[in-house]
Structure 1
Amino acid sequence: MAVGVQFTRSESTERYEVFHTNCPAREMVDHVTSRWGIWVLISLQANDLRFFELRESIRGISEKMLSQTLRGLVEDGLIWRRVEPTTPPQVTYGLTEFGRDVGEPLADLFGRITRKLSADLETALPEFQPRGD
């Protein structure tokens, strides 16, 4: 493999060199794995959400960071954006098929982590009973 090559072609498939700083796939990976990108993708797994619903579901995110994160994920084709012509405009976001495909392992990772933490807590505190609220 040549040093500094962005990607190589082998027959009809492209192989991206994600460790190269100019690789187009690297920017998408950065958006998905950013501090807020993961949470947006996980939040949209169950339902399409309006902007304020996303902001409320992702505690600690500012409107500015949510806007920037959504813009990047829309540009990458991971989520779609629909604007209703109302006053004020209602903006709804949802996962594209590609976004569902990418988000599924992230939701699985989140599930594995929370199950492990719950099991550790139950072992450390046998009286612990997770509440359903």
Structure 2
Amino acid sequence: MRDGLRRAFAAATLLAAFVLAGCADPGLERVDVAWETDPPPRWGLYPGYRQEIPCPKGAAYHVNVYFKGKAFTGGTITNAGYALSFRPAPGAQGIEAERNGPDRMTVFATLPVAQGQGKRLTALRIERKAETIVFEFPK
């Protein structure tokens, strides 16, 4: 009896693992931030990571968003002094930013989907603090 119960439990556990593996939502893999200076330092942010970077007036940071191993969209964040600004890269689609005050911004990326409807996800939360800027890739 115990052997039969053990086999049934193992089969149910295996079936649950296969079902749950197929239900995972696709998400953004990483976001690369490159400070537009010479030479350009670059940081790769993964879900749950944050990076604090120097932010003098006029500094610009290029952002690339990755999905399925490829950069699919991007843009540039600039410290204009009075506020942060965002400009999508030429030809970029599926990326936009919402300003939450002069020193905060949230960048959203819409995943490319074959059926024509994308999934909008938060790619970065950005906050400027005095002479630094913080990039956070939320989980």
Higher fraction of strand: 2
TM value normalised by structure 1: 0.26
Higher fraction of helix: 1
TM value normalised by structure 2: 0.25
Kindly name which structure, 1 or 2, has the bigger radius of gyration based on alpha carbons: 2
